[in-house]
Chain A
């Protein structure tokens, strides 16, 4: 057994984008991303839309064929050849509980499909028992088994999606914005369930989300992405208390805090302008066009992630 359940090294994911008749240019959705996730641990991946956080999750599971870099699962490198059996141990929960469930399948068949694909039962009775056990695990009633997805509310659908991911008894799940489509009062139910399942089954998560409060709550470590790059990673509490990268600092200061006194006291660092297009990536540091501290060095050379103690890694020339 390897020290880490997942080791991602220099992952690159470029998509060709057509400009004009014949020419294509690469859109660098993910550029040189590396991180590790320990057994039974949660890594939170945050960033704004278009920063490549969802693409990272999908590239790990080979829903896209990565342009470069390696992904090791439990010490073994994932290739397009062995991904089939590998998916028995890594799964995904999607953002939209409405479009990620087949409307023509019953709950029983949705949860049973991974079992069918990987031949994980001996007979029909065993299949049914496994499905009912999974439903119980995520807090659905046995009588829901014969219903269709449209009969459920958003929170319940997300439970179905989670049960489907758990069916193959995975060691690692990519959770792609699993609670952002849910109402606040339902979010807490699903977040608690993720935590309970981790304690019970020892599964590791890559928790991709844009809600920093939720990510902070659930994650052991957090990685912050900007324009396809990880700009900072640290323990969740450390990152929240002493953010070092200027982007992380402004991101944290921009999060609305549901507490009037804190909201009144603190000062927002409002960033100027918009995120540059990933097709016209700035030279050097991707954040320099909006950064208060940008210097000539930032334009010339891209900073690398370096450890500043306690595993707090930052990619910035000035910090």
Chain B
């Protein structure tokens, strides 16, 4: 425990989030835990339906009406915010923790000017009013590199390009200097050259303001460029976590290995890709054991029956795959025993 009286800035412990649909309960997030410290960039990677976005929404408590956190805690500076009421959460969102969404087209309000929307956050969370709030909004637009910020303040979202709207979103999210920024696929809707601009901007702002970032994406390239630590998710569970180097150069979960094999290798472009067989998981019909088991080439009998425990590969690397348990037993290491 540090001198602040808490261990980590943000700490998610055994988070379970379910959606209650007409077809039954969908366990979108199933026992996710992670810690985030100030100034770090954590990447959450996975394909659609892996639960990566729902994890982010659960932290912010902005789930759809059918969704509910059924188990687990989210600790912000040591306080369990899942116990907080709507009032408290409102002061948490934007001030302590902000989120940027994937689609800058639909996440800005079309009937208010850009300035109006940035100022709303400032007025809500700080003492600044009127001209002071306006100045702060202007300063934020300058900070995110928007040209002619004076003019933009009075413009409506439809008058801006996609890249510019995403900059406005970032300006809005950072206006109250949050400790944590959650970026949910922030560049997926943008072109590569604009994506590069936005990623550069985020890295730059992070250095200036020292916030922690949770980067949710399906793009392994973005993850490799941005993140210190990576969590790989599949079927609502964490398969593997570790530093970027460990995940990319020493993957220890069959899903991560498959994912890395299925993208073109920059060093050997003409080599045939090795796809992951099968189809993405159906969350209504989860397998009993490891979620990845139906698509895994190395599946064993135990994979069908039991969910693998997370075991430590080394100090920077954890993975939940029965193959590691088997290999460890083979090598006669008792440490990997459950």
Contact = CB atoms under 8 A, between A and B. Distances in A.
Same complex for A and B? Answer yes
Contacts of B223: 258
Nearest to B279: A153
A7 to B, nearest CB: 26
B124 to A, nearest CB: 31
Interface residues of A, number: 43
B323 interface: no
Contact of B218 (A49, A183, A195): A183
Contacts of A240: 269
Interface string B184-199: 0000000111111101
B269 A237 contact: yes
Contacts of A283: none
B34 interface: no
Interface in B111-167: 147, 161, 163-164
Interface string B268-304: 0110111111011000000000000001000000000
Q: How large is the interface on B (under 10, 10 to 19, 20 to 34, 35 or more residues)?
A: 35 or more
B47 interface: yes
B220 interface: yes
Contact of B193 (A155, A237, A250): A250
A212 B191 contact: no
A156 interface: yes
A183 B164 CA distance: 27
Contacts of A156: 279
A260 interface: yes
Nearest to A185: B276
Contacts of B196: 253-254, 268, 270-271
B264 interface: yes
Given A185-B262, A256-B222, A274 B273 contact: no
Nearest to B161: A274
Contact of B272 (A153, A192, A261): A192
A279 to B, nearest CB: 14
Interface in A29-52: 48-49
Interface stretch (A12-20, A86-94, A213-221): A213-221
Contact of A213 (B161, B191, B200, B266): B266
Contacts of A186: 275-276, 279-280
Interface in B199-237: 199-200, 218-225
B263 A188 contact: yes
Interface of A: 48-49, 153, 155-156, 183-189, 191-192, 195, 210, 212-214, 216-217, 236-237, 240, 250-251, 253-263, 268, 270-271, 273-275
7 contacts: A49-B191, A184-B218, A184-B263, A256-B221, A256-B224, A257-B221, A257-B224
Given A185-B258, A254-B196, 16 more contacts: A183-B48, A185-B280, A187-B262, A188-B262, A188-B273, A188-B276, A189-B277, A212-B192, A236-B269, A251-B192, A251-B193, A258-B263, A259-B266, A260-B224, A260-B248, A270-B193
Interface of B: 47-48, 147, 161, 163-164, 191-197, 199-200, 218-225, 244-245, 248-249, 258-264, 266, 269-270, 272-277, 279-280, 295
